Amino acid sequence: MKILAKLLVVFAPIVLACSTEFSPRPCEADGDCSSNQACVALATGTACISVGEAPIKIGMSAPFGGPNHDLGAKMSAGIQLAFTEQNDKGGIRGRTLELDARDDAYDPSSAEANARALLDVVPTNEAPRCPSTKDSTALYPAGGAVPVSTTSLDRGPNAVLAVLGNVGTPTMVRFAPIAVETQTLFFGAFTGAQLILRDDTCQSCKRYIFNVRASYAQEARATLEYFAQYHGVKDYKHLISFDQNDTYGQAGYSGLSNAYVSLSQSPPANLPTLPPMTNPTTDIPRFRYERVDPVGGGQQAVSNVINHVQNDVLSGNTDSHVVGIMMTNVYSAAEVFIKGIKDWQAKTPDAARVKFVFSNISFTGPNSLATRLQGSDALGHPYSENVYVSQVVPNYADGQDDSSLVKAYRNLQPATDHRNFTEFEGYISARIFIAGLLAQKQAYTTESLIQTFENLNATVDSSLVLGANSGFSAKDHNYSKTVWGTAIQSDGTFKNVYFWQQGAAPELQPYQ
């Protein structure tokens, strides 16, 4: 016991000295640290930290409750599939990927609250850095909204590294301004909106946004070309927009109108010439529903469309007509709208003179809609007949597609029969995000990650090919500009019908 006591007396000052004087080793990259350590950005600078104490935390806001819960559940499931896949390989040089996914129920105010929590927002007394922080007029033309802040906002010490895979346009409009104001990466959002995400008015703030999917404007262009060339939609009077009454619906309608103007002025050689519109902002007939009541709004829109078709399409002639309907909606609204139109046709002999072609924007929730459209009208016609979805990811069920992302997603274990386009988009966005993390060896900061992602493209990594010419650059933070057109089959599966890419002759021939 005397010997032990003497040893304790001798070693106690050494232990105390170590505990009070120890500080993490400074570093610039993981290679500067010992094994099982990573170079991590701290409030006081970068330092070597044990990988077990340095998980990489990523934030997400999406609807996990309410009528659109499938969208959030599937998008987050896809991200988690990619995170789990990478974590099983050892994570990011030993660091575990963690997803902090929070429910916003597709409600803008809840999304804003999630942004403030995930980014640990700290208000300042300085003027805002970004126009979208305080400019509610541009974001909400109808008024009634307050700015997200009248001062600049900073990231707090408990902020997630980045935001990945947020779901929805109206929710993005309240979340994204906070992300870019706090100089946080806003990556791979599940929306194709132009507003904020693809807006060139503020380059210094836009640099924090990286889009993986094609835009709604590109989906609208692909849809209109398909309507005109393969279904014979001959003018804007034979077009209809069914869309959500908010920023999401406006993005779809604006995309369709702009595509029509472009095609009427300079159509590709393989497309018929469309007559010009008098007023591009209003000439295409439009029928809307409220985000908070997709089912009731969809039912009312059916009545309004029927009146429009009877009075403005069928009246005064005995011709046959093709009417193309672009749908910027969610699956619950789409179901009641499509079924309502088809049920009316089945019991109205004169309505047989109209061939309706329905094309849904990718955000609809393709698989959820396909499930709900199984069955037939009173004449035995499948509800899914002439119903299409413009997809921003390839058809994962296409056995002839041997691209790396499709094969990787198909072969994920455990294999299930519940693979899903929305889940696939989440998986792809996360895979591309992970590729950036793996490519960078320095401590992760927003600025260093921006430089890494701007050099990430499918030429550098062929396993990340997503359609044609996929990749980021310093001048272009939009990874994919490709649209895959699919038809919903009566059994709930999807058939490929066209392939569209920006800046090249479209492959609009149906193919198996």
CATH of the domain at 255: 3.40.50.2300
Question: Is 4 inside a domain boundary?
Answer: no
* 376/431 same-domain check: no
* Mean pLDDT within 407-414: 85
Q: Which domain holds residue 272?
A: 216-391+485-501
Q: Does residue 216 register a pLDDT over 70?
A: yes
In this structure, the answer to whether residues 152 and 241 fall within a common structural domain is: no
Number of domains in the chain: 2
Whether 373 and 340 have beta carbons less than 8 Å apart is answered as no
Report the alpha-carbon angle 32-55-52, nearest 5: 70
Q: 203 lies in a domain? A: yes
Instruction: Answer yes or no: do 423 and 338 share one domain.
Output: no
One domain for residues 136 and 226: no
**Are 158 and 90 in a shared domain?**
yes
CA atoms within 13 A on the CB side of 95: 25
User: Does 30 reside within a domain?
Assistant: no
- pLDDT digit string, tens, across residues 368-390: 999 999 999 999 999 999 999 99
**Same domain assignment for residues 68 and 204:** yes
Residue ranges of the alpha helices (H) in 279-420?
294-309, 331-347, 366-372, 404-410
Assess contact for 444 and 437: CB atoms under 8 A: yes
| pLDDT tens, residue by residue, 329-381 | 999 999 999 999 999 999 999 999 999 999 999 999 999 999 999 999 999 99
Per-residue pLDDT at 273: 85
φ and ψ at residue 448, rounded to 5 degrees: -70, -35
Query: Structure pTM?
Result: 0.92
Is 434 a member of any domain? yes
pLDDT tens readout for residues 419-434: 899 999 999 999 999 9
SS3 331: helix
pLDDT greater than 70 at residue 495: yes
Q: What is the pLDDT of residue 417?
A: 64
Residues 251 and 315 in one domain: yes
Are residues 320 and 378 part of one domain? yes
Asked whether residue 83 is domain-assigned, the answer is: yes
Distances, alpha carbon 141 to alpha carbons 135, 138, 448, in Å: 10, 6, 36
Q: For residue 437, which amino acid is it?
A: L
Say yes or no: 245 and 361 in one domain: yes
Task: Answer yes or no: do 207 and 311 share one domain.
Answer: no
Q: Are residues 86 and 100 in the same domain?
A: yes
